[in-house]
Amino acid sequence: MVKWIGIAGWIAVSVGVFLGFYYVWDDVEKALAIVTVLTAGFEGVTGFIRHYLFWKQDSKRLGWETDRPDWMWEVGFANFGFGFMALLAVFAGFGIKAQALVLLGYALYLFQAAMLHLYRYLTDEVRSRARLYRAVLLTLVMVGMMTFFAVYALLA
Calculate the average pLDDT of the chain. 90
Contact criterion met (CB below 8 Å) for 40 and 83: yes
Q: What is the pLDDT of residue 110?
A: 95
Q: Is the predicted pLDDT of residue 77 greater than 70, yes or no?
A: yes
Which of the four pLDDT bands, split at 50, 70 and 90, describes residue 58?
Answer: low
- 107-116: pLDDT as tens digits: 999 999 999 9
Cα–Cα distance measured from residue 47 to residue 43, given in angstroms and rounded to the nearest whole number: 6
- Which range (52-66, 84-98, 119-133) has the least confidence? 52-66
Can you give the pTM of this predicted structure?
0.90
- Number of separate helices (H) and strands (E) present in the chain: 8, 0
